[in-house]
């Protein structure tokens, strides 16, 4: 992650965990649910476009999809063990 990465809140982390069917997550509202599903399915160009308006959500989904320890990082954020 770069030093310019957006701050991922515990709530966002829990929503992304739910989106990826991971323990510790909880279901977001319908808009956020659809947004996270869209980010999870988007190609790199459309992910970049969505990240302009939703940087924390895009970064959290990127972590879940691409980082070896992304789910563990999101779990730590969700439980308040670390800040993103």
**pLDDT confidence of residue 83:** 63
Q: Where are the alpha helices (DSSP H) in the chain?
A: 10-19, 30-41, 44-53, 55-66, 70-78
The pTM (predicted TM-score) of the whole model is 0.90
**Count of alpha carbons within 13 angstroms of residue 83, beta-carbon side:** 2
Please write the tens of the pLDDT for every residue from 15-67.
Answer: 999 999 999 999 999 999 999 999 999 999 999 999 999 999 999 999 999 99
Q: Is 72 helix (H, G, I), strand (E, B) or coil?
A: helix
């Amino acid at each position: 992650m770069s030093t310019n990465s957006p701050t991922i809140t515990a709530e966002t982390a829990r929503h992304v965990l739910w989106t990826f069917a991971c323990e510790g997550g909880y279901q977001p509202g319908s808009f956020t649910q659809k947004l996270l599903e869209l980010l999870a399915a988007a190609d790199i160009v459309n992910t970049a476009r969505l990240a302009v308006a939703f940087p924390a959500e895009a970064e959290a989904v990127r972590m879940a999809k691409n980082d070896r320890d992304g789910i563990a990082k999101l779990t730590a954020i969700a439980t308040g063990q670390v800040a993103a």
